[in-house]
Chains A and B, each alone.
Chain A
Amino acid sequence: MERSSVLTMRRAILFLLLLGIAAHGRASPDTVVLVVPADSKVIDLDSITVRKLFLGLPVLINGSPLHPLRNRSDARFDSIFLQQIVAMSQSAYDRQMLIGVNRQRSMRPVEITTSARVLDELYSDPNAVTFMWLRDVEHNPKMRVIRILWSD
């Protein structure tokens, strides 16, 4: 009961935020959001879970692991990814990935360099999680925004 109320509240806040950003003509193009396919079972991911996911640690929803996609289709995504999502320098992130593969036998997030491929992956994998510009997803019914990661 409490959990569903909280989720409804979060959705309402997210909706209002998105509405506010959309109404504010200048902010919308410079907002990065976490997105999943519309049929994803993901309802909410807090920032710690998002960090774990993009650092290669397992995050399971109903027994299925989520698949993080590192979107590198825009050069600005790299600094946003390092500062806002994994909170590490490039060298520390590199080292963390090496340690993860060697020690925890984990998978690095798949890196994608074109927007078209990001969309293809999202459409074909219900467990995919990625980040994109809000302007690229706000009118796309095949995707769902989970949270705002960064806004200029």
Chain B
Amino acid sequence: MRGSLLLIVLFVLAAPLARGDPLQHEFLLLPSADVVGTFDRRAPVTQVNDAVLKADLILSLQKGPFKLFGEYLVSNHEADLERFQLGWQMSDDTVIWVGRYHQPTSVWNHDHHHGQYLQTSITRPAIDEWEDLRGVLPQHFTGILIESSKQVFGTWRLRTAAAGGIAPQLTSVGLEPFDLVHPDGNRHQMGYQARASLHPGDFSETGVGVLVANDELTSVGTLPPRAFRNFDHVDLRLFALFGTYAATDWKVLSAVYYADARLNYTTAVARDSFIVGYVQFQRRLVFDFTGFARWEDSSRAADSAYLQGFEQFARSRYVAGLRWDFQQRQALTVQLSNSHTLDGRFSDVRLQWSAALF
């Protein structure tokens, strides 16, 4: 019975493939190189990497309503399959993905992913940092992602995303997502996320939205004893509001996250919560220059037991910089930051070249 059902499902899925739709492909290369220097150091560790050369490779294949999408990031520090998804375009408005995806409840990462050229600032907000750069929220999951966009209130669009998948683990070096290429045999738990945002048009960046997530993160190995002695897992619930207003020459974007962490020890349960937010303003200037500034701040971050596992987390940060789009799809950016981490503070200056090559 199960075999027959599988055959029927395969037949239904394979029917569109046999219709003779051409195989389409898309390749995008997003290279970047950046260097950073720190000064006024009052923190034991200030950077994960001082110089990074990287190439983000994106490949899409499509045949009829079926899609295969892959993103591979190669740098002088890592090589990782970041996204790998098989998709079915159910209708004009809805697509279902299976595989490794970026969870939709990171405001910044949902918009920029790993594309360095596509973000104006060199760094992303600390709350949206990737796991391997000591980010505090899980970003890569393996499971199902459903994305949709519906017309509402006349010409407005309601964009939604819902996802559920294998969550990253808490290890001695931070969060580690499930690796599709080298899967481990560890105990993994699940995470679920949902996102909804309202926009005045199909292609408008302007919009407001809400996020909610419930992620269970298992601990693996020996964690830093200060926060995680006799620790088993954490239930991390996340709520957020975000908004963007994009005019012709300027843009402002903001997000506020409320995180509720329930830390499950072998003998007890501890709860804590913290709030993190940021606002970024950017304006196009003459000669293809763009100026930008971002303020990141938090509340109760220093008291959070969960965040004690991430001592480099910037509980507040001031960022300012200038980007110059000197060639088609190539930019140079200089950025100054002042960060207050959980165990100190420091300032840094960065220089970056980034590009997008089809």
A residues bordering B, Cβ < 8 Å? 48, 52, 55, 57-60, 63-65, 67, 94, 96, 98-99, 101-108, 110, 124-125, 127
Contacts and interface: CB of A to CB of B under 8 A. Distances in A.
Contacts of A55: 202-203
Given A94-B329, A102-B112, 14 more contacts: A52-B202, A57-B92, A63-B65, A65-B21, A65-B64, A65-B65, A94-B328, A98-B118, A98-B329, A99-B118, A102-B28, A102-B113, A106-B26, A107-B26
Interface in B45-65: 58, 60, 62, 64-65
B202 A60 contact: no
Contacts of A64: 16, 19, 21, 64-65
Of the listed residues A63, A108, A125, the one surrounded by the most CB atoms of chain B closer than 10 A to its CB is A63
A108 B26 contact: yes
Interface string B194-219: 00000000110000000000000000
B contact residues, range: 35 or more
For chain B, what secondary structure do more than half of its interface residues adopt (helix, strand, loop), or is it mixed?
A: mixed
A101 B89 contact: no
Contacts of B21: 64-65, 125, 127
B4 interface: no
A100 to B, nearest CB: 9
Interface of B: 16, 19, 21-22, 24, 26, 28, 30, 58, 60, 62, 64-65, 67, 69, 85, 87, 89, 91-92, 95, 110-113, 115, 117-118, 147, 202-203, 328-329, 356, 358
B255 to A, nearest CB: 17
Contacts of A104: 147
Contact of A101 (B58, B91, B92, B203): B58
A48 B157 CA distance: 14
A98 B28 contact: yes
Contacts of B65: 60, 63-65
Contacts of B110: 103
A29 B54 CA distance: 50
Contact of A105 (B64, B67, B328): B67
